[in-house]
Structure 1
Amino acid sequence: MTQPSKSVADLRILVAEDESLIALDLEAMLAAIGCEVVGPVGSVDEIVRVAERQEVDGAIDGALLDVNLRGRQVFEVVSELTGRGIPVVLTSGYDDASLFPAAFRHLPRISKPFNEAALRRVCASVFLDPKAA
């Protein structure tokens, strides 16, 4: 018997965003498309703690990480997340990959302000089919 295909509405997504209004907006958009939001968390250290808890609390299907959380860049934890099998999408007010360290320029990203249709597309393409990212 084959497993039913997972849809965007079945995703558990870790949200890392330190601006409360942006976090609320992102959380509302994800909820509107049926996703379960893990977080939002507002610091790099919280990202790590949530990732470590995932085995207990349930698998995380993907992470939307603001590049800069309270003055600290998230790049130092990206490898830990991807090593745990959690695909990552970077979020930023800047849509210029050259501003990121070279090792992370290949990562999928979505620009702020968020658009619900674009958010749905990136979640589907990256979190449902991580090999496509």
Structure 2
Amino acid sequence: MQNNKLEGGKAEGRRRFVWRSALFVATALLSGCSEPRSTFQYVGKETRLLGPPGDGYKPLAGLVSTPDAAAGIAEAVADGIYGEAQIHEQRPYQVTDTPIHWIVRGNRPQPSVGGGFEIIINKRDGAILHVTHYQ
């Protein structure tokens, strides 16, 4: 009689394990199907004309004051032009500091086919001054 109770308990435990495992797998599969959340919300086009920008905040070191910021801007611009896969292959980026610009270049391992990108960014206002891709 006691042996029967043990066998029944083991069977019940197996059923619970199988049921919980199936629920876990289903939850994991369903959560993987959802699209990743964006970091921005597109609200449409502005229909009114805006005047010239005012005298907003301008840090003494400029809006783009670090090599990390310059690399992030260059990566965003290059991803949009050349594609994320091609640009990410060129990491780590080479960032050169000049008195008024950042020069960000893609780093291509040798030997490789094709060249790297080069983007020049104004330190003061973050303007993209030059974009090229070497062959």
TM-score of the pair, normalised by structure 2: 0.28
Higher helix share: 1
TM-score of the pair, normalised by structure 1: 0.28
Higher relative CO (Cα under 8 Å, sequence separation at least 6) belongs to 1
Rg bigger for which structure? 2
Higher strand share: 1
